[in-house]
Amino acid sequence: MSNLLLSYMSHKIIEITSQQTLPIRHQVMWPNKPLDFVKLINDDNGLHYGLVLNNEIISVISLFIDDGEIQFRKFATLTNHQGKGYGSLLLNEIIQVAIKKSASKIWCNARVSKLKYYQKFQMMPTDHTFVTGEIDYVIMERLF
């Protein structure tokens, strides 16, 4: 069995607090901004998940449910664990959460540079685009 498969078997996905998401959000998404920049005003209303590997949270995502739609935000994986499939495991789990909650759709504000990544999860770009902090974003969604 490959080392990659062995490392997958030692992971788990757990519900975490919004505070537990902050270090990874900050380090991965906006390391040159203050920590408060990665906090969301509605963090207390969200569901937050982390992928744990060897007792360390290495990937995080936050869900916000509104009128049967689920938005995920602040999806981030530590740089040294990117490209190994851990973020994909977490996103697949979140899609299953959306299905179990009978959501009509799941959506996100995706960096345009990550468009192809999200398309692997049957998410489609919409016509809604915007710029934040000099980064181009597109709203992507998957209907159920």
Question: Structural domains in the chain?
Answer: 3-106 (3.40.630.30)
pLDDT tens by residue, 20-44: 999 999 999 989 999 999 999 999 9
pLDDT tens by residue, 82-114: 999 999 999 999 999 999 999 999 999 999 999
**Strand arrangement of the beta sheet that strand 47-53 belongs to:** 11-16, 47-53, 56-66, 69-77, 105-111, 135-143, 124-132
Q: What's the chain's average pLDDT? A: 92
Which range among 2-6, 17-21, 37-41 shows the weakest confidence by mean pLDDT?
2-6
pTM of the full predicted structure? Answer: 0.88
pLDDT at site 25: 97
> Whose structure tokens read 């390391």?
31
Say which residue, 11 or 126, is predicted with more confidence: 126
pLDDT at site 9: 57
Q: What is the DSSP letter of 144?
A: -
Q: Given pLDDT bands bounded at 50, 70 and 90, which one contains residue 134?
A: confident
Tokens, residue 115? 């468009």
pLDDT tens by residue, 44-63: 999 999 999 989 999 999 99
pLDDT at site 3: 44
Query: What is the distance between the alpha carbons of residues 86 and 11, in angstroms, rounded to a whole number?
Result: 9
Residue 6: is its pLDDT beyond 70?
A: no
